[in-house]
Amino acid sequence: MPQSKVLTENNPITNGVIWKRMLVFFWPLFLASFFQQLYNTVDAVVVGRFVGKEALAAVGGSSAMIVMLLIGLFVGISSGATVVVAQFYGAEEEKDVQRAVHTGMVLAVIAGSILMVVGFLISNFALRLLDTPEELMEPSLLYLRIFYIGMIPGMIYNLGAGILRAVGDTRRPLYMVILTSVVNIVLDLLFVLVFHMGVAGVAIATVISQFVAAGAMCWVLMRIDDMHRLDPKKLKIHKDILRRILRIGLPSSCESIFYMVSNLMIQAAINGFGTDAISAWAAYGKVDGIFWMILQSMGVTITTFVGQNFGAGKDERVHKSMRQGTGILCAFTLILMALLLTGGKYLYYLFATDPNVIEIGWQMLRYLARFYIAFSFIEAFSGALRGLGDTIRPMIITFFGTCILRIIWLLTVVPKWHTIEMVEASYSITWIVTAAAMGLYYLWFMKKKYRQLDMWD
pLDDT tens per residue, range 87-119: 888 778 889 989 999 999 999 899 889 888 988
Whether residue 265 contacts residue 406, with contact meaning beta carbons closer than 8 Å, is answered with yes
CA separation, residue 71 to residues 67, 76, 111, 230, 235 (Å):
6, 9, 10, 23, 23
Q: Can you give the pLDDT at residue 58? A: 65
Q: What is the largest CA-CA distance in the chain?
A: 66
Q: Can you give the pLDDT at residue 194? A: 86
Q: Can you give the pLDDT at residue 59? A: 67
Mapping DSSP to helix (H, G, I), strand (E, B) and coil, where does residue 171 land? helix
| Mean model confidence pLDDT for the chain | 83
Overall pTM > 0.95: no
Q: Can you give the pLDDT at residue 263? A: 76
Q: Can you give the pLDDT at residue 57? A: 66
pLDDT tens per residue, range 311-361: 888 888 888 999 999 999 999 999 999 999 998 888 888 777 788 888 998
Whether residue 201 contacts residue 191, with contact meaning beta carbons closer than 8 Å, is answered with yes
Report the C-alpha dihedral over residues 411, 254, 442, 376, rounded to 10 degrees: -70
Low-confidence ranges of the chain (pLDDT < 70): 1-10, 39-40, 48-50, 52-53, 56-62, 64-65, 72-73, 76, 450-457
Q: What φ, ψ does residue 400 adopt, rounded to 5°?
A: -80, -35
Q: What burial class does residue 120 get, using C-beta atoms within 10 Å of its C-beta: 0-12 exposed, 13-18 middle, 19+ buried?
A: middle
Domain boundaries, the chain: 16-449
Q: How far is 288 from 286, CA to CA, in rounded Å?
A: 5
Report H helices in 272-391.
275-311, 315-343, 355-368, 372-387
